[in-house]
């Protein structure tokens, strides 16, 4: 057995083993062991103190984490006028919601984002950690304010207008990701939302592609979709909504046939799989092997916030469990239906057995 494998085996048996102990066990000098450790860390086979092994690693969710403020009215919204509302607060952010949903689905997930050193930032970190998400890689920026997303919901639970204060994400730089690269490269996959700066999006796509780390992307909004580089080679999955897909494909989408054309254009940019979410019209999925349209699962809508994140996380959960793209979308639709039934941005009833049960019910 070669020395590298011997070192990995000893670390697997005792993650806290010292380099001196490794040296005597594998018959190498301590500097030689240190050299092997450095190489293994750079390749992402091990990471950090206590030598966390690759197979224990998680899906790293990179992007937004903020407070969601929902102002709900019990009557028809009157624009340019005062509306009586009830305001609730919840933890939100696409990457944060995604990490929490994945944790509920039994996956190891970690969050890479930035928050301010304020009450909201501490609350987000504590709440997210309590849901089983690793928050050790979050940057806490002392002079910045934690991001907020405020939305006005009408009597049906539909969002009328949303306001995002996300200036904090502009403070993230590519060198900050460079410093965390050994953690990122050791992950099973990366989920990325486009709340972070354009150059960071391009950097992560390029590096993940070079290192064969699967990367899944949610473009977040039609404006932020423009942050994506033209070449998207190596991106395993892109999940835009209709407006974002129109921006990415540079065509108008008025029908299911248009969805197919848009997916073909997006795939030409290098993406392997595309799922366009169509709100109350369901989803359109597309890859070289399969494509088609699925209607949504019928459910009572309490609040639409977080339903898209639930769809994305459950669909990617399916893809990572080697389901077909169609089956993955069904799991996604089940997750979205469960989230629509609650005021929570990340539904506490999201469980593997629950979404599989719903899929059976609707198929």
Q: Where are the domains of the chain?
A: 3-47, 57-362
- 46 near 37, Cβ under 8 Å? yes
Residue 360: partners with Cβ closer than 8 Å, 6 or more residues away? none
Cα torsion through 70, 73, 76, 80, rounded to 10: -70
What is the rounded CA–CA span in Å between residue 299 and residue 297? 6
Provide the CATH number for the domain formed by 3-47 in this structure: 1.10.10
End-to-end Cα, the chain, rounded Å? 50
Q: What is the reported pLDDT for 46?
A: 73
| Confidence at residue 23, expressed as pLDDT on a 0 to 100 scale | 86
**Which residue ranges in the chain fall short of pLDDT 50?**
55
Residue 70 pLDDT: 87
Mapped onto helix, strand or coil, the DSSP state of residue 286 is strand
Contact yes or no for 346/104 (Cβ under 8 A): yes
Q: Is CATH 3.30.70.260 what the domain over 57-362 is classified as, yes or no?
A: no
Query: Do 210 and 222 meet the contact criterion of CB atoms below 8 Å apart?
Result: no
What is the distance between the alpha carbons of residues 341 and 361, in angstroms, rounded to a whole number? 16
Q: What is the token pair recorded at 195?
A: 């709340």
pLDDT attached to residue 215: 97
* Whole-structure pTM value: 0.80
CA atoms of 319 and 331, how far apart (whole Å) = 10
Q: Which residues are CB-neighbours of 299 under 8 A, at least 6 positions away?
A: 337, 338, 340, 341
Using CA of residue 102, residue 46, residue 137, residue 218, what is the dihedral sign? negative
pLDDT value at residue 327 = 95
């Amino acid at each position: 057995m070669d020395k590298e494998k011997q070192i990995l085996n000893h670390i697997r048996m005792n993650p806290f083993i010292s380099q001196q102990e490794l040296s005597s066990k594998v018959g190498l000098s301590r500097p030689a062991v240190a050299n092997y450790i450095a190489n293994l860390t750079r390749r992402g086979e091990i990471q950090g103190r206590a030598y966390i092994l690759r197979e224990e690693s998680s899906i790293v969710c990179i992007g937004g984490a903020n407070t969601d403020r929902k102002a709900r009215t019990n009557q028809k919204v009157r624009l340019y006028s005062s509306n009586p509302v009830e305001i609730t607060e919840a933890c939100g952010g696409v990457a944060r919601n995604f990490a929490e949903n994945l944790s509920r689905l039994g996956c190891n997930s970690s969050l890479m984002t930035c928050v301010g050193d304020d009450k909201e930032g501490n609350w987000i970190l504590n709440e997210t950690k309590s849901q089983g998400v690793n928050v050790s890689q979050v940057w806490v920026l002392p002079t910045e304010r934690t991001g907020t997303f405020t939305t006005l919901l009408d009597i049906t639970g539909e969002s009328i207008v949303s306001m995002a204060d996300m200036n904090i994400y502009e403070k993230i730089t590519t060198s900050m990701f460079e410093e965390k690269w050994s953690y990122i490269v050791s992950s099973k996959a990366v989920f990325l939302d486009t709340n972070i700066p354009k150059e960071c999006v391009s950097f992560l796509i390029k590096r993940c592609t070079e290192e064969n780390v699967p990367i899944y992307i949610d473009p977040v909004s039609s404006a932020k979709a423009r942050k994506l580089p033209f070449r998207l080679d190596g991106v395993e999955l892109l999940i835009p909504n209709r407006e974002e897909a129109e921006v990415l494909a540079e065509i108008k989408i008025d029908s299911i046939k248009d969805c197919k054309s848009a997916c073909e254009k997006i795939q030409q940019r290098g993406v392997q799989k595309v799922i366009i979410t169509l709100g109350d019209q369901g989803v359109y999925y597309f890859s070289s092997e399969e494509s088609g349209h699925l209607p949504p699962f019928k459910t009572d809508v309490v609040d639409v916030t977080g339903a898209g994140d639930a769809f994305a996380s459950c669909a990617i959960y399916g893809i990572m469990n080697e389901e077909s793209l169609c089956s993955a979308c069904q799991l996604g639709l089940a997750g979205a239906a469960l989230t629509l039934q609650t005021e929570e941005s990340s539904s506490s009833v999201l469980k593997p057995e629950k979404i599989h049960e719903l899929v059976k019910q609707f198929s």
